[in-house]
Amino acid sequence: MLSLVIFLPLAVAVGLYAVPRLSDRVVAWSWIVACAVDFALVIAMWIGHGTGDGISYEANVRWIPSVRAGYHIGVDGLSLPLLALTSLLFLACAIYSLRQERQVRAFAALFLFLQTVSLGLFAALDLLLFFVFFDLSIVGMYFVIAGWGHGDRMRSALKFFLYTFLGSLVLLLGFIGLYLGAEPHTFDMVELTRTPPLAGSAGLGGLVLLAIGIGLAIKTPTVPFHTWLPPAHTDAPAAGSAILAGILLKMGTYGFIRIAMPMLPDAWRRYAWVIIIVGLISVLYGALVAFAQEDLKRLIAYTSVNHMGYIIVALGAAGAVGDQAARQLAVTGAVTQMVSHGLITGALFLLAGILYGRARTYDMGRFGGLAGGAPVFSGLVAVGAFASLGLPGFSGFIAEFQIFTGVIGSGGTAIVVVGALAILGILITAALFLRLLHRTVLGPPGELTAQVTDVHRSELGAVAPLLVLSVIIGVAPRFLLDVIEPFSAAVVSLVAR
């Protein structure tokens, strides 16, 4: 079942090429149908998994037995929400791309390939398998930016590729460290989690955490490894940006929770404060730099740095001493934030793409008063902005409130100060999103306002479900939290070992 979910998109991609002379419309619709079926399958898995602890839909096939690496996959309370997010966001991108005109078949195939890679990564229970998917995601996104981007796209794509590829190499180094540290040597995540490697040697454990940490920090990204993100987003096509921010960034934070925390609990606890500080800097620095941006996509990109920062702070706090229940709350908030950020930022990037499609620029200063000619578009932007600034009633609040309360509630004096400073982030994001609304959506019309027509049906169909789901999580979050909470309880006790 799980393998079907993972490889269905790839199979459809191959199918698109196997059948000769397909019209663009057929391609687009078969892409949408494939995504919808995949999404439905994930929902079925969600129902089948229930709210229990542990791994379901597990499969373990021999792959490279000489290094004890297997095709080992499965889902738990961390991967399920991300699998659901992935399949939904790819579906939204497929719907959004109904208006795509250039090389539709290649575009669809590339996205289907990326979907398989992303789903595979979130289901992988083997480090080598994880790494393969991790690297393939970089390759796929490189071609999306280089092939369908705009502006200085080759340069941005190359920067993205080299930077994140470098990160993946460092990550591989860390994985090899884990492999060598385990007795017997293995790449199997379940075994590595059961008996953490390098438990006895603090120095080596620290080095391996450093390698894994840098590798994942580049992908997440945290300050100071974030500068590949703004150009990659600015020059990527809208659907590419949505996937990059919504899914690919999560691979970094996912890796922290899935690999770094449970496999290197000693080192995680020892260096918890480094992680917390890096997260805090990402929160404040990302928000402040976003505040000063003139380019809409760069602004959203920097808010991603801010939002990912909350996750890092929460995960760091889970390694610091403190109340167990509070740290669980923080981890649950971090996982919720991963889903929430994917929905909201995915929607915002698609909206930015609509703006670019009409006016060929992201410069906010050249718009204004869009609410007059494009009320639905403006309404969606406003809803997205308030969702992103963490207004209650949207998923962002559910995530961030849990993070703040969990971090402060865990009790140490220093961590209370960190929590208080991190809260400032939501004030800055409020200011920057109101500035965005003030300059582009409201006020008197600007130079390019006349060119911006309202959303088309397919665009509405892509963006609205993401925001509606964010509202559902914001109002009735239990269906999501019920799945996450057993996992976060487990991970907190694993870190405490």
Partner 1 sequence: MSALAWLLPAVPIATGVLLLTGRFTLGRRTDKAAPAIAVTAAFVALGLAIAAAVARPVVTFPLFGRLPAGLAVDGLSAALVLTVTSVSLAILVFSAGEFSPDESRTRFFGLMLVFTGAMLVTVTATDLVVLLMGWEVMGAMSYALIGFWWRDPRRVGSGDVSFITTRAGDLGLYFAAGAALAGTGSLDLGGLAAADGHWRNLIAAGVVLAALGKSAQLPFSFWLSRAMDGPSPVSALLHSATMVAAGAYLLLRLEPLLAATGWAATLVAWLGALTALLLGAVALAQRDVKQLLAASTCAQIGFMVLGAGAGSVAGGIAQLVAHAAVKSLLFLGAGAWLTALGTKDLTELHGAARRYRLVGVTFGVGMLALAGVPPLSLWATKDHVLSAALEVSPALYAVGLAAALLSAGYAARAIIAVTRPVDAATRVDTEQTGTRHVSLLERVPLPALAAGSAVLGIFALTPVYKAWKDLLGTGPEPSPGPAEMAVSGALALLVLAAAWTLMRHGRRVGAAWTAPALRWFYLERLAELLVARPVFALAKALARFDDRVIDGGVRATAATGQSAAALAGRGVEIRVDGLVNAVGRGARRLADLARRPQTGQVHTYYAQATVLFAVLIIIVLLVR
List 478, 479, 496, 497, residue binding partner 1 (CB under 8 A): 478
In angstroms, the CA 475 to CA 118 distance is 28
Question: Out of 416, 458, 461, 472, which residue is the one contacting partner 1 (CB under 8 A)?
Answer: 416
Between 114 and 314, CB nearer to partner 1:
314
Q: Check binding of 395 to partner 1 (CB under 8 A).
A: no
Q: Which residues contact 47 (CB under 8 A, 6 or more apart)?
A: none
Considering only 79, 100, 332, 345, the residue that binds partner 1 (CB under 8 A) is 332
Would you call 73 helix, strand, or coil by DSSP?
strand
With beta carbons less than 8 A apart as the criterion, state whether 233 and 349 touch: yes
**Short-list 426, 393, 419, 395, CA closest to 333:** 395
- Where does this chain touch partner 1 (CB under 8 A) — which range of 52-60, 208-216, 270-278, 283-291? 283-291
Say whether residue 373 binds partner 1 (CB under 8 A): no
Given 3, 405, 451, 458, the residue binding partner 1 (CB under 8 A): 405
Binding segment for partner 1 (CB under 8 A), chosen from 52-60, 262-270, 337-345, 385-393, is 385-393
**Which amino acid would we find at residue 316?**
G
Question: What's the closest the beta carbon of residue 327 comes to partner 1, in angstroms?
Answer: 11
Could you say which of 50, 52, 54, 224 contacts partner 1 (CB under 8 A)? Answer: 224
Does the bond joining 197 to the residue before it have cis omega, within 30 degrees of 0? no
Region of residue 476 (phi > 0: left; psi between -120 and 50: alpha; otherwise: beta): beta
Cis peptide before 375 (omega within 30 of 0): no
Residue 300, interface with partner 1 (CB under 8 A)?
no
Tokens of 77: 């309370």
Least distance to partner 1 from the beta carbon of 27, Å?
30
Count the neighbouring beta carbons within 10 Å of the beta carbon of residue 306. Answer: 27
d(CA 147, CA 166): 22
Interaction pattern, residues 28-67, with partner 1; x per rule: CB under 8 A: ----------------------------------------
Asked if 15 touches partner 1 (CB under 8 A), the answer is no
Q: Closer CB to partner 1, residue 52 or residue 392? A: 392
Q: How far apart are CA 290 and CA 245, in angstroms?
A: 15
Interacting positions 62-121 with partner 1 (CB under 8 A): none
Using CA atoms, how far apart are residues 362 and 365, in angstroms rounded to an integer? 9
- Give the x/- contact pattern for partner 1 in 180-219, rule: CB under 8 A: ----------------------------------------
